[in-house]
Amino acid sequence: MTPLPARSKPYSAALHPAPMTPDESVVSGVARTLLESALRLKRGENVIVETWNHTLSYAAACVVEARRIGAHPMLLLEEEGAYWKSLEAAPAIAGWAMVGRHEWAALAKTHAYVFFPGPADRPRFRGLPSSRVGALTVYNAEWYRRARAHRLRAVRTIIGYASDAQAGFWGVSGELWRRQLAEATTDPDYPEMVKAGQRVSRALAKGKELRLTASNGTDVRVKLRGRRPWTDDGVVGSDDLSAGRNIAVSPPGAVVVAVDERSAEGVFVASRPSFLRGGRVEGGQWEMRAGRLSDFWYTAGQAAFEGPYRTAGRGRDVVSLLSLGLNPALAPGVPQVEDQEAGAVTLAIGGNQSYGGTNRCPFVSWVVVGEATVAVDGSAVCDRGHLL
């Protein structure tokens, strides 16, 4: 599941990752989709495009596309070499990591926002002490608050995370990963994805009990509590702004709901990898009783799950979230959007408060199964991986 974005080595050429240089038509297609389909950018509007070095080609294409539309773009660049060098030259992070008044002023006058996250060296960033990561990202809550208050339409693209460094950490091809993300951004029929999300959302909002089954032995029952599902269909519309869901993820899409925290019963057998903070895991098998994870094992990468799980606090074992993927252009098991493949079903443990649940635990982990069947109160919304 895609998380919300988080915004001492010698200085060298290695700290300046080369921009990704995919085919120009691919880059232009991504920019057009982000601004036209996701944000519905209009002539005369102001748009900020925030990027790092490695995604500069995509960001530049967004600037060109905005000007073609007749909008007013502003490009913000976080230079990776300067970022890492700053941690050495100015170790008092709290003194410079907060957003300045000039940036808040720009945000207040902005209608749309495109965010290519970084840094490219994600493994190095994740390896920083938690206190330093916290200081570097402490402004996030205030940024989101202001963005909602200003009804800012924003999109965060996973291409920013798909650097060669992160690909190496998870054992995938960076070039293939980025191509899969680009295709899953440009190729879907967005109006159809919106309709599919609405159908699934209505069923989850009105239903009382959900049953998930698959031919690999998965058989899970959870209760629903009438909580409003969170739908990311790739489009930030007026209904999303009214509900405070003003940031879309690209590629989209999924419908996520916080389930009854005491209800999950059964066995879940993953048929897709999960790309966790600690590493890639395969073949996850969870047993659940009375809403809690009672046993687990993995065919590969278990330490990446078990290490953080063992040290997490109260609520770590609560089965709290379920999502159903909507994107027909996503291949199975694409890192960081493995939950958004059309018909893929994801079950998560840990915190769900941001989705309207009651569990405040900061720990979250998940497993994903494809080709599954989902029935709400006996009526199927997904049949063997096909959305109905």
Q: HSE of 226 in the Cβ direction (CA atoms, 13 Å)? A: 0
Regions in the chain scoring below 70 on pLDDT: 1-22
φ, ψ (nearest 5 deg) of residue 243:
-90, 0
Q: How far apart are CA 371 and CA 384, in angstroms?
A: 4
Predicted pLDDT of residue 368: 98
Residue 74's Cα: distance from chain center in Å?
24
3-state SS class at 383: strand
Instruction: Give domain limits for the chain.
Output: 13-186, 190-232+245-387
CA distances (Å), origin 205, targets 111, 210, 219, 221, 262: 30, 11, 21, 16, 18
Predicted pLDDT of residue 21: 62
CB 93 within 8 A of CB 27: no
Q: Give pLDDT tens digits for 199-244.
A: 999 999 999 999 999 999 999 999 999 999 999 999 998 888 988 8
Q: How far apart are CA 343 and CA 369, in angstroms?
A: 9
Predicted pLDDT of residue 9: 31
Predicted pLDDT of residue 26: 94
- The pTM of the full predicted model, rounded to 2 decimals, is 0.90
Q: How far apart are CA 240 and CA 234, in angstroms?
A: 11
Q: In CATH, what is the architecture of 13-186?
A: 3-Layer(aba) Sandwich (3.40)
Predicted pLDDT of residue 13: 39
C-alpha angle 156-161-162 in degrees, rounded to nearest 5: 120
Which among 189, 187, 183, 201 has a CA at the least distance from the CA of 245? 201
**For 340, left (φ over 0), alpha (ψ -120 to 50), or beta?**
alpha
Predicted pLDDT of residue 3: 41
Length of the chain: 388
CA distances (Å), origin 164, targets 4, 120, 121, 128, 353: 21, 8, 8, 19, 33
Predicted pLDDT of residue 19: 58
Q: How far apart are CA 209 and CA 30, in angstroms?
A: 39
Predicted pLDDT of residue 242: 87
Q: What is the DSSP string of 3-35?
A: PPPP------GGGSPPPP---HHHHHHHHHIII
Q: How far apart are CA 384 and CA 388, in angstroms?
A: 10
